[in-house]
Amino acid sequence: MSNKIKIGISIGDVNGIGLEVIIKALSENQILDYCTPIVYGHSKVVSYHRKALGMTDLIFNVIANPDAANPKKANLINCWEEDVKIDLGVSNETGGKYALLSLEKATDDLINGHIDALVTAPINKHNIQSDAFKFPGHTEYLQERSGGGDVLMFMISEGLRVGVVTGHIPVGQVAPSISKEKILKKLVLMNESLKKDFWIEKPKIAVLGLNPHAGDNGLLGKEESDVIIPAVQEAFDKGVICFGPYPADGFFGNGTYKQFDAVLAMYHDQGLIPFKTIAFGSGVNYTAGLKFVRTSPDHGTGYDIAGQNIADASSFIAAIFAATHIVRNRKEQEELLKNQLRTGGKVIETAFDLKDDAN
């Protein structure tokens, strides 16, 4: 039996670019050197996309369950039996239905330990809504499947990591949703993830303000003085090395972000606009705080370019490698802790002496 990490891949919306970037990613031979990929979908749907792209060289190994995966091939599990009508570039009920079937089966295997991590191709947050899926997106769905603990939407790349306090909510709800307790939880979660998942011994975190110019000493808002600063101070007192709040515009504009291991933004666009400007194409969406590892590319369904063979698979490839690295980091850290217990807690080398910062 192979010891290679098994990466489950949900196909996302069948009418979008999900299967295109999956096929392109798995056509890269280096992927199989690091992990065993298992796609959750259907062979006929995959075949349709392969023919549409003119990429018929990649042959999937169809299996019944992850235990049967061939570590030297791209594997595929059929998640339904019926034929599916593909309408490339169209958002419809079909796209949502089969995206959910793929996601459900992959998540079941992830929770039951049959695969080591999950990489999710993009879904459409509207057409996937049903009695079985009433969530703003992947993050909230996986949060509930994981047991409902707090999670952090964490965008990661080679030179930048950005988390957000509030996720997929309207801008008008951002300020009322921010509290000292919520910021503190996200800082603690980010700090733990940087140590456990990225092997950074003493992470340094920057916290952004909510208002322009970080409130300008109360002239442009009180959230900084009343909420954010007390949260930063309490987190620091708890051992989290964090600083702020920083005005978001100048912070990214003058490159201050390069001085930190991660950045905590107050809301979605405040963090993701600069992240995608700086790291688009190589960025990865990582859900920190889950019991399992889940990543995804930093783009959406791409209906406008579906079927045209022009979608860039770089972010999806990065998502596969990120999931593999994080799983390996967690496993090695668990082994080190077991060794420490066996030696009565005596530590000769720490995990951080043995690893470089892996992203």
Q: Is residue 355 part of a domain?
A: yes
Which of 237, 258, 286 finishes a domain? 286
- Dihedral angle sign, alpha carbons of residues 176, 179, 185, 186: positive
Q: Is residue 311 part of a domain?
A: no
Low-confidence spans in the chain with pLDDT less than 50: 1, 347-359
Q: Kindly state whether residues 4 and 137 are assigned to the same domain.
A: yes
Q: Kindly state whether residues 168 and 126 are assigned to the same domain.
A: no
Q: Is residue 161 part of a domain?
A: yes
d(CA 299, CA 283): 9
Query: Is there a contact between 305 and 206 (Cβ–Cβ < 8 Å)?
Result: no
Q: Which two tokens stand for residue 171?
A: 């801008």
Q: Kindly state whether residues 179 and 300 are assigned to the same domain.
A: no
Q: Kindly state whether residues 83 and 162 are assigned to the same domain.
A: no
Q: Kindly state whether residues 161 and 244 are assigned to the same domain.
A: yes
Q: Kindly state whether residues 137 and 279 are assigned to the same domain.
A: no
Q: Kindly state whether residues 157 and 276 are assigned to the same domain.
A: yes
d(CA 324, CA 200): 17
User: What's the pLDDT score for residue 120?
Assistant: 98
Q: Which domain holds residue 238?
A: 152-286
Which of 231, 257, 286 finishes a domain? 286
Q: What is the pLDDT of residues 25-71, one digit of tens each?
A: 999 888 999 999 999 999 999 999 999 999 888 899 999 999 999 99
Q: Which two tokens stand for residue 231?
A: 């949260």
User: What's the pLDDT score for residue 218?
Assistant: 81
Q: Kindly state whether residues 34 and 72 are assigned to the same domain.
A: yes
Q: What is the pLDDT of residues 171-204, one digit of tens each?
A: 999 999 999 999 999 999 999 999 999 999 999 9
β strands within 218-354, DSSP E: 241-246, 262-265, 284-288, 293-297
User: What's the pLDDT score for residue 125?
Assistant: 94
Q: Is residue 164 part of a domain?
A: yes
Query: Is there a contact between 32 and 73 (Cβ–Cβ < 8 Å)?
Result: yes
Q: Which two tokens stand for residue 306?
A: 């579906």
- Dihedral angle sign, alpha carbons of residues 129, 132, 136, 142: negative
d(CA 24, CA 5): 20
Q: Is residue 113 part of a domain?
A: yes
Q: Kindly state whether residues 175 and 210 are assigned to the same domain.
A: yes
Q: Kindly state whether residues 245 and 335 are assigned to the same domain.
A: no
Q: Is residue 310 part of a domain?
A: no
CATH at residue 225 = 3.40.718.10
Q: Is residue 317 part of a domain?
A: no
Q: Kindly state whether residues 86 and 160 are assigned to the same domain.
A: no
The full length of the chain comes to 359
Using the 8-state DSSP alphabet, how is residue 228 labeled? I
Q: Is residue 176 part of a domain?
A: yes
Q: Kindly state whether residues 4 and 142 are assigned to the same domain.
A: yes
Query: Is there a contact between 242 and 202 (Cβ–Cβ < 8 Å)?
Result: no
- The one-letter amino acid at 90: V
Q: Which two tokens stand for residue 346?
A: 């005596």
The total number of structural domains that make up the chain = 2
Q: Given phi > 0 = left and psi -120 to 50 = alpha, else beta, which region is 216?
A: left
